[in-house]
Amino acid sequence: MVFNKILKDFPIVSKVNYLSTASIGLVPTPVIEAVKEFSVELARQGTLFLDEEKESMVYDGLRREGAKLLGCNEEDIAIFNSVTEALNCIAWSLELKEGKIISTDVEFPTVTYPWLRIARKENVEVKLVNAKNWYVPLEDLLNEINENTKVVVLSHVEYLTGQKHNLKEIAKCAHDVNAIVIVDGVQAAGYLPLNVKELGVDVYITGSYKWLVAPFGTAIAYISKKLYSELEPTFVGWRSKENMWDLNPRELSYASTARKFEYSTSAYSVKIGLVESIKYLREIGIENIYNHNMKLIQTAMEELSSIEHVNLVTPANRDERGSIVTFEVDKEDPKRIVEKLRKLKRPVELTIRQNMIRISPHIYNTEEDISHFTDNLRKILS
Ligand SMILES: Cc1ncc(COP(=O)(O)O)c(C=O)c1O
């Protein structure tokens, strides 16, 4: 079984029950080695190692792998250093002067802040649809979309609750009124099979250091051809151009593809790391990873729902959730529970968010990890 074979690439999991990928994913040893080798050679040899052609190729390689991951053309991919950077760059390039932006009130702040910032300057209203008991009904989102709407921006899978949104329906409804849909897919890409063209969204951004099991410092964004052709980037630099090596300071023009949003050098070794990680995950097969993770989530949901004092906030419907399970615990301080789980002989590593406990299993977790966690939680709460 492929998932048993890869465990050797994540040595920490033999000692720790690591259930915290929604915070930081573990990087497989072959990827760590590739990043190390690239950074060491670059530091030791400078241009002897990284000539002009190679410098261009680092990003080309990542655009190629990113396109395979997201189901689009290489030309539609732009590379950034973080999801937050990508969202801000795209948000400001829209040059909105008026209209309504729709999101939800359970988003990670990075998703809503750029628009709240724009609203301080322009005649833009940011409407955050209220979750009901942490769940955002699709109808509530669709009901907000009207002729005044310019952008719908939300996560594919919510970082807090694991709720997965129906992007196809949202995109259809938004496009009917000429609004665009911008998606933060950082809690989805890496285990969810993706085809951004089928989803019909205009922008899909994801980052390296969670489910894509790569180091910090990289994000990729799908930007539809229609959209990138219309937009002028807000931030520009030597890499914004079609031929970045012309180095002509008098003439500002842009690459003819989504690459126009890239503008500077960056930590190239982590770009190499993301290329290797995407290859690693695709070799296992994203569909296989999805089935593996969803099976673990199903077991966790079943076990947790049978423990007294545990209130699940993750949707019960398999099609409406990702690889995250979150729950509240009645009358108990979640910090105390997490401390106890961390003190076990095989410690459980998980996350507290908004006073709730979140687990987020990935390729290096097993059914035994889930039962080890739920059995110990049951004991603590009994
Ligand atoms: C949904 C979501 N978006 C964005 C981020 C942060 O992304 P970055 O660190 O790449 O800016 C996080 C981090 O937890 C997140 O959960």
CA distances from 100 to 23, 33, 215, 352 (A): 31, 47, 36, 33
Q: Which two tokens stand for residue 304?
A: 């947790």
Report which protein residue has its CA nearest ligand 1's atom 12.
Answer: 108
Rounded percentage of the chain residues whose pLDDT exceeds 90 = 97
* Residue to mutate, 89, 136, 159, 208, ligand 1, most ligand atoms under 8 Å from C-beta: 159
Q: State the CATH number of the domain containing residue 297.
A: 3.90.1150.10
Is residue 149 domain-shared with residue 272, that is, in the same domain?
Answer: yes
109-127 mean pLDDT: 98
pLDDT of 291 > 80? The answer is: yes
Q: How many domains does the chain have?
A: 2
Range of the domain at 100: 34-283
- For residue 283, the 8-state DSSP code is H
pTM: 0.98
80-105 mean pLDDT: 98
**Cα of 160 from ligand 1 centre, angstroms:** 11
71-90 mean pLDDT: 98
Residues having CB within 6 Å of any atom of ligand 1: 82-84, 108, 110, 155, 159, 184, 186-187, 207, 219
Is residue 158 domain-shared with residue 171, that is, in the same domain?
Answer: yes
* Residue to mutate, 23, 24, 81, 83, ligand 1, most ligand atoms under 8 Å from C-beta: 83
Contacts of 332 (CB under 8 A, 6+ apart): 309, 381
Segment 140-188, tens digit of pLDDT: 999 999 999 999 999 999 999 999 999 999 999 999 999 999 999 999 9
Residue 147 has, within 13 A of its CA and on its CB side, a CA count of 0
Segment 217-246, tens digit of pLDDT: 999 999 999 999 999 999 999 999 999 999
Residue 78 has, within 13 A of its CA and on its CB side, a CA count of 33
Is residue 150 domain-shared with residue 171, that is, in the same domain?
Answer: yes
**Cα of 206 from ligand 1 centre, angstroms:** 9
pLDDT of 1 > 80? The answer is: no
Contacts of 222 (CB under 8 A, 6+ apart): 66, 70, 72, 76, 77, 196, 201, 203, 204, 205, 258
Report which protein residue has its CA nearest ligand 1's atom 13.
Answer: 23
Other Cβ atoms less than 10 A from the Cβ of 230: the count is 10
337-366 mean pLDDT: 97
Residue 288 has, within 13 A of its CA and on its CB side, a CA count of 11
Report which protein residue has its CA nearest ligand 1's atom 2.
Answer: 108
Answer for the pair 198, 168: CB distance below 8 angstroms, yes or no.
yes
Answer for the pair 207, 221: CB distance below 8 angstroms, yes or no.
no
Is residue 229 domain-shared with residue 318, that is, in the same domain?
Answer: no
Whole-number mean pLDDT of the chain? 97
CA distances from 214 to 1, 28, 274, 275 (A): 23, 8, 5, 9
Is residue 67 domain-shared with residue 88, that is, in the same domain?
Answer: yes
